[in-house]
Amino acid sequence: MLAAAVSAALFGCAGQQESKATLPAGVTLLETVSFSGQDVGIPYRKYQLANGLTVILHEDHSDPLVHVDVTYHVGSGRELEGRSGFAHLFEHMMFQGSEHVGDEQHFKMVTEAGGTLNGTTNTDRTNYFETVPNNQLEKMLWLESDRMGFFLPALTEEKFEVQRETVKNERAQRIDNRPYGRMGERFNQAFYPQGHPYSWPVIGWPEDLDRADVEDVKHFFQRWYGPNNATLTIGGDFDEVQALAWVNKYFGEIPAGPAVAEPIKELVTLDEDRYLSMEDRVHLPLIRMGMPTVYARHEDEPALDLLSNILGGGKTSIFYKNLVKDGFAVQAGVSHPCQELACQFSLYALANPAKGGNLDAIEKIMRDSITEFEQRGVNDEDLEKVKVNFEAATIFGLQSVQVKVSSLAFNETFSGNPNMIGSDLARYANVTKEDVMRVFNRYIKDKPMVVMSVVPQGQKQLIAKADNFVAPTEKVAAVAVQDLNVKPQITSKFDRNVVPPVGAAPVLKIPTLWQGELANNIEVIGTETNETPTVEVVVYLNGGHRILDVQQAGLASITASMMNESSLKRSAEDLTQALEMLGSNVSFGASSYQSHLKISALTENLDATMKIVQEKLFEPAFKQADFDRVKQQLLQNLQRQLTEPSYLASRAFGTLLYGDKSPFGVSSGGSIESVSAITLDDVKAFYQRQYTAGNAQIVAVGNLSKDQMLTKLSGLNSWKGDKTPFPELAELPTFSGGKIYIVDKPEAAQSVIKIGKRALAYDATGTFFKSYLMNYPLGGAFNSRINLNLREDKGYTYGARSYFSGGPEQGYYQATASVRSDVTTEALIEFIKEINEFQATGMTEDELNFMQNSISQSKALDYETPYQKAGLMRNIQRYNLDDNYSEQQTKITNEVTLNELNGLAKSQLKIDDMLILVVGDRAKIESELSTLGYPIEILQL
């Protein structure tokens, strides 16, 4: 149905040349892929170097940027039992410099170039990527090639130890200190047989990380990081002939590594139901069930994906009806995630304690729901909506060069064919009702599964069934890497110490904006973009939490949730079904200063989507049953958030700065007390105050002209209502710094530190903006003083930063990090030292140049996607800015003086004006913190 739209989305901005006259020596053109008519795909050329490196080039000249991705076909699945965590640890190590790139210089060079960068690791692959202005491509290829070919000479014991600590901090932050964080790794131990490469976590077991050494890291690099196990993909605004010459220069002389065989794919099986449980610092009992199916790209994968959607894919699913709608669960769902070697048919539910929270009862409902599907079968709409949504997601997912590059790299790595979009669409389009029932009977019906219960500490009586599985004792492999053949040392044919020059700065393509009004005077700001046949519209309603009495905190959020429920004409399920059949999304939300309505649609389906928007906006049903369920879900989620250290820290920080009488000091999501008091009548009254034409402003991006867009939005012309004034703010509390506040979080693996004060309201070109520039080298960039100290030098944290945040009326300054509990005091000392030194002496000339280059050149990346364009326009609209305010910011950035910025540092960064908040295990941290000489106060939340 959407083939033409998909084709336009993927082919419309391509700029492929038909032939290349001469290829560099050693480079082979493997294929040229282009599209026309109804064909679907991303045009590209695929090459191979003599050393086995696969190179994919996709030209897209719509924005002045390039995205570079190097994907290595190695993840945690290549590790050995007892030697886990190497792939992820190595991802960190690869940012620590190489023979010709100094320590911390990779991040610095990319950031200073105005780019962004990162790396990720999963079970099957590791990738490194950068998005930069188009004049920086050669430098990126130099950087990536140097760590591929010249990493080992720069590897030191000290770097290894720091990154091992950083990985431990990441594990503590993302797993040990997070509710349900350890569930996945425990579940996988039961799901996979011992020794299976997915039976251990990607981040590794702590004891495995402890037994690793530098030699292990060297061997892992030598085994897996050869060019013959990598794919280099470049997309964006570049000249293909020049790019290929650079690729051959920088990568061509790197020797191939050991041969890499495809991993063996064997279907995982279970012989009986396996039950396991764990107690955790959580509020909501959770049950997770799963059974093995196939592996990625298996012929049955699409039918299993569709089956999971029918069972638990949202408000139209069986799970939602039986578990969430009836109030037994706060959340529930079914999915079918696939990896290279295995897929899981995964089912979960977060039990509602108000209904008892017993997981044995929830398990029965889940199993009964599977039986209900068998009896109900598959209907035509089930198939159609899933297929339409898959096709629509394909279009929306290709609005950036990065996503297109990622798609090409992924498909090449795991199938040897970058051109898989069309065939993937066909795989899903061809699924029949009989296919879905066949895979249900083969993989799901009456099949053994793993059933895991996660319950609050001390409430073991809530588990689904007594444990019958105990994880086996880990076997430790004698070596970390097998089949090791060391690559020969490279003698480069040119001087790699010379940083490649960059071309002229790109000409920025700032969107051409238009402004208009609907017939009822609602302001509309928009821009036309023809890269995809899609429309993104956001209706902003000024007000939100700001127009409420703090005793009604949470009312804006709960009202927005009610707007996502039934209308007077249709149920929430029927409305969701109608949107899914169009491949559209319509959602309401609320925040501190506004409520909003987000609309995403294929252009051809915008008219039909807007009719649903009008129904939801103008005719909400506000049913008591919906309200009772939504309120209960919100209350349970608030209880859950009280188990999260980061939430506790944010809540306490706001209250300390602004007091509990100000909307800035009380969470917009509300508290258990405030939400408990909200009634349906409150929701109806707030709807009348908030959802009026007088409060509304609209931002629109799509492949429509101004007149066309305004015509499509004309259904909102009948909207009425005046603007709601903001109430007067309560007087702010007297603020005093120089004090440590502790929020006790017993057994916390990390401490959350926040240092800050009330600061400046937002401005685009004044003191607030200049303060942002001032803070950039202190805590605003990855290679800022604070992050390099606490993360890279000391290994105290996974990441530390500082920033100014400003709204229309108030703002604050904050320096923050989650640190290991045992170094809470030491980390706080370093924070204070860095802020004091920067306040006293300011930034250096080199830091000024770095900041100016980084921020001004990053503008090339700012307006690529529809939502980036929408963000620019909303800022103009919200703060009444000039259309060219972004250019004014660039001028200020390039002309601001060192003296002016350092003067701001002196006035804005006085540590004695700042409070210090620590959320952590009081029993472990208080005595040491008391040695710092600050008065300490214990906060109760």
Model pLDDT for residues 897-938, shown as the tens digit of each residue: 999 999 999 999 999 999 999 999 999 999 999 999 999 999
pLDDT of residue 487: 65
**Which CATH fold would you assign to the domain 740-872+880-939?**
Cytochrome Bc1 Complex; Chain A, domain 1 (3.30.830)
| Per-residue pLDDT reduced to its tens digit, 288-337 | 999 999 999 999 999 999 999 999 998 999 999 999 999 999 999 999 99
Strands 740-744 and 915-920: parallel
Distance CA(238)–CA(64), nearest Å, equals 9
pLDDT of residue 21: 54
Range 553-564 average pLDDT: 98
Element (H, E) at 129: strand 126-133
Number of neighbouring beta carbons within 10 Å of residue 832: 17
Q: Where are the domains of the chain?
A: 53-251, 274-398+418-462, 513-716, 740-872+880-939
Is residue 159 within 8 Å of 425, Cβ to Cβ? no
% of the chain surpassing 90 pLDDT: 80
Distance CA(754)–CA(221), nearest Å, equals 38
**Which CATH fold would you assign to the domain 53-251?**
Cytochrome Bc1 Complex; Chain A, domain 1 (3.30.830)
b/e code 30-54 from CB counts within 10 Å (16+ = b): eeebebeeeebbbbbbbbbbebbbb
Which pair of tokens denotes residue 675?
């939400």
Distance CA(385)–CA(599), nearest Å, equals 18
E strand map for 737-869: 740-744, 750-759, 797-806, 811-820
Mean pLDDT of the chain: 93
| Per-residue pLDDT reduced to its tens digit, 571-609 | 999 999 999 999 999 999 999 999 999 999 999 999 999
Which residues are bridge partners to 33 per DSSP? 44
Distance CA(814)–CA(779), nearest Å, equals 10
pLDDT band per the 50, 70, 90 thresholds, residue 9: very low
Which residues are bridge partners to 757 per DSSP? 813
Please state which of the ranges 42-56, 94-108, 247-261, 669-683 shows the lowest mean pLDDT: 94-108
Is residue 257 within 8 Å of 79, Cβ to Cβ? no
Distance CA(788)–CA(804), nearest Å, equals 19
Phi, psi of 768 (to 5 degrees): -60, -45
Range 835-844 average pLDDT: 97
Q: Which CATH architecture has domain 274-398+418-462?
A: 2-Layer Sandwich (3.30)
Range 112-134 average pLDDT: 95
State yes or no: pLDDT of 612 exceeds 50.
yes
Is residue 146 within 8 Å of 91, Cβ to Cβ? no
CB-based contacts of 911: which residues, under 8 Å, 6+ apart? 737, 738, 755, 832, 835, 836, 839
Distance CA(757)–CA(908), nearest Å, equals 9
Cα angle 377, 382, 383; round to 5: 105
State yes or no: pLDDT of 184 exceeds 70.
yes
Range 364-388 average pLDDT: 93
Q: Which amino acid is at 920?
A: G
Residues for the chain: how many in total? 941
Distance CA(853)–CA(111), nearest Å, equals 9
Domain range 513-716, its CATH number among 1.10.10.10, 3.30.830.10, 3.40.50.300, 3.40.50.620: 3.30.830.10
